[in-house]
Structure 1
Amino acid sequence: MALSFPDLSGAALNDLVEKLTHYAISNGLVIYPPGFKAYQPSVAPVTLYPTPFPRAQFSKGVAISTKFNELYSRVVVDKSWLKQVIADLSKYDRNFTGMLYKTYLEAEPKIVQPVSLGLFRSDYMLDTVSNSIKQVEFNTVSVSFGGLSPKVGQLHSFLNSQGLYGRPQYYQEADLPTSQSMDGLAKGLLEAVKYYETSEKTASTIVLFVVQPGERNVFDQRAIEYSLFAKGVKSERVEFDKVTSSVKVDSSSKLFYKEQEVAVVYYRSAYAPSEYNHPDSWKARLLLETTKAVKCPSLLVQLSGAKKVQQLLTDRAVLQKYGFLDEELLSTFVRIYPLDSSEQGQIAKKLVFEHSERFVLKPQREGGGNNIYKQDIPGFLRSLDEKEWGAYILMELIVPAVHDNHILRNGEVLDESIVSELGMFGTLLFNETDGTILHNDYAGYLLRSKTSTSNEGGVAAGFGCVDSLYLHD
């Protein structure tokens, strides 16, 4: 049985907020606000207390993390199937998915590095109907908050140990797991560096972070960079728009940045259409894809994270084809429909107008703020040509638990209850040609929460906050 939340008000609440703020700033639990100056970080939006979560369901998420990693590796290795799926999808989403795919086809005959690194995050909500975790999405590019997640757990443990939750040791420390995602993701990058240096018989290489200009979430990324440096590997950062003017490729297809050999290209950008507005954007992606550096992710791995692929992987026949007819995986799926001319698509087109309150409409986009919810769906679809509907998937809504936790944002305690989403990080180093897996590991967790009245949940996009777990039986 879960403990109720601490009941703080007045001076006790003010004291908690002050000490939380001081701890967060002292320990790098920060983010830049919009329109920031470099010297003006602020406390990242966080919850006041850890949020309860069933221990058994958390353990299940940990256990299936490496299974999902391997499943997606098999999807990527099955190039003919994945290419056909993406080619069909590209007809509906020519400007982004279509361009990613076109760039991959152009790169394909020139690819000299078959080994790819995935830093993945599989996101779940605890469904109150089944009391089990249900997958929201599987992210294959630029997964965020692995650097800040451990700091939130450490924050809540500190506040608990200081008696700031109303009594000494309000929670048992064993019930407050701190995520290992900062070091876990850095370890994945390290494994890719070691592979590259061994195969190329070289040393002292770097990881090149490809980033957005004016990145507000830079401290999350820096935390992974510093963890990697503590493991003996240096990193550099280059803005996506400046790649072509900043890097060099030698005659053997090795990549260099500031005269340093690059072992791994790590994308913390390049996942949204708005990032490809520079004249050299697609040229940069093609250039990097055809070097010997290990890509995190490669174009094909990024494309495997399309919502359309997620929808197809809920089909038992597709899972069976990949040898993953696993009841633990299957139990995490909700119904996901296409909106095309197939039989399932026709069912979806009927459902969406008769029972829109049960669904969310998702495009092939990452980063928060892109989904259409419930009663907004019919009007949105009517605003499009029906031929364009195939760019979307229709996903059954999960019914999450609502908790009386509170979010601290910009110094203000929001007096609203919250809902939460659990992300499980995983790292996978594998050969896209023959399927050989060189490294596959669970890499920590992320709990993101948002006010229960908000549909969207992106922290950097301004919808949610970072949180930590209180596990209970």
Structure 2
Amino acid sequence: MSAKPFPQLSTEQEKELTTNLLQWTLGNGLVMYPPNFETYQANTAPITLFPTPIPKTSFIRAQEVQKLFNELYINVITKDKNWFLSILEDLSKHDADFTGKLFEVYKKSTKLQPLSLGLFRSDYMVHQDTNEIKQIEFNTVSVSFGGLSTKIGQLHQYLNGTGQYDDKYNYKYYDDDDEIPVSTSITDLAQGLADGNLHYHNGENKKSTVVLFIVQPNERNCFDQRHIEYALFNNHGIRSVRLTLEEVGENVTVSQDKLYIKSTMDEVSVVYYRSGYAPSDYDINPEKTWDARLLLENTLAIKCPSVLTQLSGTKKVQQLLTKKDVVSKFLPNASEEELSKILSTFVAIYSLDEADDDSKQAIELAFQTPEKFVLKPQREGGGNNIYKENIPPFLEKLDKKDWGAYILMELINPPLHKNKIIRNNEIYHEDIISELGVFGTTLFNEETGEILTNKNAGWLLRSKFSTSNEGGVAAGFGCVDNIYLY
């Protein structure tokens, strides 16, 4: 089955659609703060006018493997800890200023709370040669746009249902809501935090404690986070408090290893990180921010994620998990069909660490055919990757001993679609490529490996101009999109 073309509207119809779209977004919270904002100001988030086609088979496969990926990363942390810690020890030497400091926090921590909460997201592109999804990365900390993903699905369903995509009779352009489904990520991610609160109280449904959101200063994407916060309260009666890492030391207190908000003495059940995933989150005031991370780690509050869980999302771990024998080791109970499904999502990823047997081949590929690859550091967030022809000169500037801080990843060849993107009241009509993210939540015991919850939690589609290498929406590279299944 082939996809329908995008709706073709007259200039006047598109103008009316855009007005209605912008007013819907402002009325329903599909917004971000603009740069240099005042707190009363909000802009429509960068979004697409129409949903973008994704093959239904690709979407289903991404849904099918999410819980397997959740389990895989849990088992990396818990089933052979010496192996995992040796990887982190080595990475700490290559990336001392960030991975090394996170690992130091882990080593200094008293590990009072064995439970760790994961709000994860696995990101894919459709490889157009085969229509298979191929994994870009697995994110273990501060996964974003679960809130806005639900909102743009609701927007596109509204525009379709009210006939604004039809150029003649105000009929639905897409046949039914199943073709342009709404992500359940707001409610599902809030449920994940509620699961953490529940197990903090040993299975009792108590609402006396709060969830502490650790956020960036002047967070432009706070509405995405707020939607989850509001659902946490509306659906579960659990309140939230927001602090930056720099504010933690002065605003919390610890008594008998329990974490409290100093001003109200509310007990914190879950610390939810929407910050702390990049060096810039600590560079504001390194002493305060790194001390804050250790302080929080050294409490009985359940961390989402713990430092060790965050470190499982390093690109080195992702590279090692493309090997069948490693995946089989950490998913011993998976069927051959399940292993085949998860392995089918991988592209070739190489280590540049001289201690790795395959590094010599990887270095040759990086210099001889760089146009086929992307170079990735052990970092999260947009703007960190080195692409194609920029790889050789970048590596030449580095000391060879620092190459091990990077992995070399085969580029995916996604299909192009000529959708329309609206950003700051300007409409762009260009070829775009799209990235599908599938959310998952899981609560597990880092000491015993027991998995208490493991769930899918909705999805996200982000798109960007095909001429842009990077894809971060908040970083200014892309937009929030919605899926049209065909």
- Which residue does the alignment assign to 2:115? 115
What letter is aligned with 1:265? V
Note if 1:170 corresponds to 2:173. yes
Q: How far off its partner does 1:415 sit?
A: 2.3
- Which residue does the alignment assign to 2:447? 433
Contact in 2 for aligned 1:176/1:470 (Cα 8 Å): yes
Residues 38-187 of structure 1 mapped to structure 2, 5 A cutoff = 38-77=39-78, 78-107=80-109, 110-167=110-167, 168-173=171-176, 174-187=178-191
Note if 1:343 corresponds to 2:357. yes
> What TM-score results when the alignment is normalised by the length of structure 2?
0.95
Q: Within 2, Cα distance between the matches of 1:459 and 1:425? A: 17
Give the secondary structure class of the aligned counterpart of 1:198.
Answer: coil
- Which residue does the alignment assign to 1:329? 342
Q: Within 2, Cα distance between the matches of 1:200 and 1:187? A: 15
Note if 1:248 corresponds to 2:253. yes
Q: Within 1, Cα distance between the matches of 2:101 and 2:202? A: 34
Residues 297-308 of structure 1 mapped to structure 2, 5 A cutoff = 297-308=305-316
Contact in 2 for aligned 1:188/1:428 (Cα 8 Å): yes
Q: Within 2, Cα distance between the matches of 1:166 and 1:372? A: 42
Note if 1:260 corresponds to 2:273. no
- Which residue does the alignment assign to 1:311? 319
Q: How far off its partner does 1:79 sit?
A: 1.8
Q: Within 1, Cα distance between the matches of 2:353 and 2:447? A: 31
What letter is aligned with 2:149? S
Contact in 1 for aligned 2:152/2:481 (Cα 8 Å): yes
Q: Larger deviation: 241-250 or 274-283?
A: 274-283
Q: How far off its partner does 1:417 sit?
A: 1.4
Q: Within 2, Cα distance between the matches of 1:137 and 1:80? A: 24
Unaligned runs of 5+ in 1: none
Q: How far off its partner does 1:328 sit?
A: 0.3
Unaligned runs of 5+ in 2: none
- Which residue does the alignment assign to 2:244? 239
Q: Within 1, Cα distance between the matches of 2:447 and 2:124? A: 30
Q: Larger deviation: 311-320 or 299-308?
A: 311-320
What letter is aligned with 1:248? T
Note if 1:288 corresponds to 2:296. yes
| % same residue | 55
- Which residue does the alignment assign to 2:461? 447
Contact in 1 for aligned 2:29/2:223 (Cα 8 Å): yes
Contact in 1 for aligned 2:207/2:237 (Cα 8 Å): no
Runs of 4 or more, structure 1, over 2 Å off, are 198-203
Q: How far off its partner does 1:8 sit?
A: 2.1
Contact in 1 for aligned 2:33/2:43 (Cα 8 Å): yes
Q: Within 1, Cα distance between the matches of 2:402 and 2:449? A: 34
What letter is aligned with 1:86? L
Structure 1 counterpart of 2:412, from 388, 398, 402: 398
Q: How far off its partner does 1:201 sit?
A: 9.7
Q: Within 1, Cα distance between the matches of 2:205 and 2:141? A: 28
Contact in 1 for aligned 2:147/2:228 (Cα 8 Å): yes
Contact in 2 for aligned 1:197/1:203 (Cα 8 Å): no
What letter is aligned with 2:461? L
Give the secondary structure class of the aligned counterpart of 2:192.
Answer: helix
Q: How far off its partner does 1:213 sit?
A: 0.6
Residues 197-212 of structure 1 mapped to structure 2, 5 A cutoff = 197-198=201-202, 204-212=208-216
Contact in 2 for aligned 1:147/1:220 (Cα 8 Å): yes
